[in-house]
Amino acid sequence: MTAEPKDRLIVALDVPDLPAAERLLDDLAGVIAWAKVGLELFNAAGPAAVEAVKSRGLRVFYDGKFHDIPNTVAGAARQAAGMGVDMFNVHAAGGEEMLAAAAQAARESGDERPLVIAVTVLTSIDEDMLREELAVGEPMDDHVIRLARMAQRAGCDGVVASPREIESVKGACGDDFLVVTPGIRPSWAKADDQKRTLGPREAVAAGADYIVVGRPITRADDPRAAAQRVLEEMSS
């Protein structure tokens, strides 16, 4: 994917209410092109959160992480497309039939359909948790590749994967298969609860199509300056 850093940075609006999101969006005006509406904000404000982003001329990644029976997920996908989001995600762990239902529902929404991205393994999960808590017997890298290949077969546009698995996913699924990468932590930011992290520069160099950055920007004393700093790192 060839694009300017601004078109590859997604700022996560993980805030508790719509006024807080709108303040952030206004602070970041002219600096960003994408914003993520996740579970916290959407449960507080509903579709108004999506409209707040769209009304400012920005693209929306709806981080709804759908995970249910195929019929229910297809319905949710149709509703997400109807809201005008540009990208939404589903859990790959829901299986190939569920992923295919989401991808088909998105395609049926028309030429301006949203991208459908499958979540592989959350970036808060490490190898020990994968093995001991989730009882997955294969290494993290192998498991992520397995899920990515399944998502590709199902017709998804790409996956959400940690920075550590970008190159493996690209190698297994090809350069055109998108990788959206959370767990981005610049050297000047805290890791927080993220375990499989990388910096913006390193993630882009590894092949990330989009990087998602939340707290290092949204909780900075100056979110605008922090976003510009991330963009500079992506360009360097």
Name the amino acid, one letter, at 209: D
Residue 37 structure tokens: 């509406």
- Phi and psi, residue 165, nearest 5°: -110, 5
Catalytic residue among 6, 36, 54, 65: 65
Q: Which residue has the tokens 């290092």?
A: 216
Helix (H, G, I), strand (E, B) or coil at 197: coil
DSSP per-residue letters across 37-80: E-HHHHHHHTHHHHHHHHTTT-EEEEEEEE-S-HHHHHHHHHHH
Is 190 assigned a catalytic role?
no
Name the amino acid, one letter, at 75: G
* Long-range contacts of residues 152-155, Cβ cutoff 8 Å, at least 24 apart: 152/177, 153/96, 154/96, 154/97, 154/99, 154/100, 154/103, 154/118, 155/99, 155/100, 155/103, 155/104, 155/107, 155/116
Name the amino acid, one letter, at 199: G
* Exposed e or buried b per residue across 170-208, where buried means at least 16 C-beta atoms within 10 angstroms of its C-beta: bebbeeebbbbbbbbbbeebeeeebbbbbbbbebbebbb
Cα separation, 34 vs 45, whole angstroms? 18
Residue 77 structure tokens: 């996908």
Q: Would you name the residues annotated as active-site residues? A: 65
